[in-house]
């Protein structure tokens, strides 16, 4: 078997909800949905809705490539966004150490 990264999904309360092994490069929204996380992802990755918003753990944020301007613009409007916010539809699971994200308590669907 090839390399896998342990991905941890936390609830907005801070409690660990689920940890799951993923092949690096797996789309984070697909992985989240496959593991039962409440991320609607209603625009299916076309960066129109922000319902795939996640908050990346401080120690993991720097492992991700920077957000595009389009992603940043949408994050400015996302519910509960902070400086570690990203759109899961735009993220690939990184290689290496466990990777943790928090699912925000709610989301706005901007694609309406």
Nearest distance from C-beta of residue 66 to ligand FES, angstroms: 17
Nearer to ligand FES, 1 or 22 (CB): 22
Beta carbons within 10 angstroms of residue 7's beta carbon: 22
Using Cβ positions, the residue closest to ligand FES within the complex turns out to be: 89
Name the CA dihedral angle for 21, 26, 106, 57, rounded to a multiple of 10 degrees: 60
Nearest distance from C-beta of residue 103 to ligand FES, angstroms: 13
Nearer to ligand FES, 22 or 41 (CB): 41
Nearer to ligand FES, 22 or 29 (CB): 29
Which residues in this chain contact ligand FES in the complex, by CB under 6 A? 29, 41, 43-45, 47-52, 87, 89
């Amino acid at each position: 078997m090839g390399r896998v990264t342990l991905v941890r999904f936390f609830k907005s309360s801070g409690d660990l909800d689920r940890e799951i092994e993923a092949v690096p490069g797996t789309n984070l929204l697909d992985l989240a949905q496959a593991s039962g996380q409440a991320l609607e992802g209603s625009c299916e990755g076309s960066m129109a809705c922000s319902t795939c918003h996640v908050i990346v753990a401080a120690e993991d944020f720097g492992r991700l490539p920077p957000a595009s301007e389009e992603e940043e613009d949408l994050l400015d409007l996302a519910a509960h966004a902070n400086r570690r916010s990203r759109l899961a539809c735009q993220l690939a699971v990184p290689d290496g150490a466990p990777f943790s994200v928090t699912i925000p308590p709610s989301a706005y669907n901007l694609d309406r």
